[in-house]
Amino acid sequence: MTTVPATAPAGPPPLAGYTVGVTAARRREELSALLERRGARVVGAPAIRIVPLADDTELLAATRECLAGPLDAVVVTTGIGFRGWMEAADGWGLGEPLTATLRSARILARGPKARGAIRAAGLVDDWSPDSESTTEVLEHLLAGGVEGHRIAVQLHGEPLPDFVTALQAAGAQVVEVPVYRWVPPEDIAPLHRLVELVAARQLDAVAFTSAPAVVSLLTTAADLGRLDAVRDALRSDVMAACVGPVTAAPLERADIPTVQPARSRLGALVREIVDVLPARNRILPVAGGDLQLRGHAVVLDGELHPLPPGPLAALRALARHPGVVLDRSALLAAMACETGDGHAVEMAVARLRAVLGPRVVQTVVKRGYRLAYEPEARTDGCLSRR
């Protein structure tokens, strides 16, 4: 008889124990579901809302400006934005003249979705960069010379000041077309809560899918007097995950590091978070096992253990100094315990031992506590089970 070997436990989902903030207005449910399916706790707070196109007087004015004279070039930055522009123009009775004006111009598409929308409208795109970068589009235009040219630039939620200014400096007349203009959400309370969670470092990551959402979060933080705390958190403990370079630009201008997928897609963004977020937390050899601290939980030998904030804060302090004895005052400070009562530390340690087993945290008589750190138990990168 053939014996089938027992399979090892699969372990927790890759984002179990982590909390991720989602700022998206569009496709919020889809992004949240992708993250939750991988184990994350999601805090949703739309940072923006979209002005309905049919009611957008700025878009109507820009469309009429495009029709006021021939266009030499049109830059299409997003597929959904271009389709929305054409649909709005149809609703205003300007669809046919706009199509005719665009057909006589050279059309540049930033990426494949923009190119698909152009062709769906019965138009032909002349050029598109492989990088899907507006920077490369700008370089391409400037290389061909734009002095005296009239160029329409379809925006998507946020102005492109560097892009537009560079064209104007080279002698072009630029018509900015503000498709899908963003404004603050009607209910601002969830965004206020998200700002406070970031400032308190109670989130592990924030996912951004548009530059306007980034700007809205930072502006709201400034309005609440929390901008410095939010920036500090995003530069250290809270990972900023952006769907692409355009979204990341406002953060990087503020010297906030970001992670981005190779392709600007929601699925790729989630995969990037899965790859990067757990890797930020080292795995420690402790008491003969593997210990990894996550946002609101601990993974010990592949098993997830949620912990209350106090014991988790104490364990995090011990893990920052593995094997080093910390006295009660140091642990009280880490737990932000205002009572100064050493009993709180004893209760936290007791809770840790109840959840993780008696060997993970060791008592050093009359000195304090230490993590049962055993680096010597690793041989060739693996934990020796003795």
pLDDT value at residue 385: 30
Q: What is the mean pLDDT of the chain?
A: 90
Helix axes 79-91, 57-67, angle to 10 degrees: 80
Q: How far apart are CA 15 and CA 38, in angstroms?
A: 6
Per-residue pLDDT of 133-169, as tens digits, reads 889 999 999 999 999 999 999 987 667 888 999 999 9
pLDDT score of 376 more than 90: no
Q: For 265-289, write each residue's pLDDT tens digit.
A: 899 999 999 999 999 999 999 998 9
Bridge partners of 21, per DSSP, are: 43, 206
* The pLDDT value given to residue 132: 85
> Which domains are delineated in the chain?
19-48+185-280 (3.40.50.10090), 53-182 (3.40.50.10090), 283-383 (1.10.10.10)
The residues pairing with 240 across neighbouring beta strands, listed in sequence order, are 206, 258
With residue 108 as reference, give the H or E element that holds it: strand 106-109
Answer yes or no: is pLDDT of 184 > 90. Answer: no
Q: pLDDT value at position 4?
A: 46
CB 198 within 8 A of CB 15: no
In this prediction, residue 277 carries a pLDDT of: 97
Determine the pLDDT at residue 1.
47
Kindly tell me the sign of the dihedral angle through the C-alpha atoms of 299, 381, 289, 369: negative
Predicted TM-score (pTM) of the model is 0.73
Confidence class of residue 317 from pLDDT cuts 50, 70 and 90?
very high
Of 50-59, 182-191, 247-256, the poorest mean pLDDT is in 50-59
pLDDT for res 182: 78
195-230 residue pLDDT tens? 999 999 999 999 999 888 999 999 999 999 999 999
pLDDT digits (tens, 9 = 90+) for 330-369: 999 988 765 556 788 999 999 999 999 999 999 999 899 9
Q: What's the confidence (pLDDT) of residue 159?
A: 75
Q: Is the dihedral of CA 193, 194, 200, 202 positive or negative?
A: positive
DSSP-based three-state secondary structure for 232: helix
DSSP 283-348: EEEETTEEEEE-SSEEEETTEEEE--HHHHHHHHHHHHSTT--B-HHHHHHHTT-SS--HHHHHHH
pLDDT score of 11? 82
What pLDDT is stored for residue 205 in this prediction? 98
* 203 against 379, higher pLDDT: 203
pLDDT tens sequence across 64-96: 999 999 999 999 998 988 998 999 999 999 999
Residue 114 has a CB neighbour count (10 Å cut-off) of 26
Confidence of residue 52 (pLDDT cuts 50, 70, 90): low
pLDDT at 378: 52
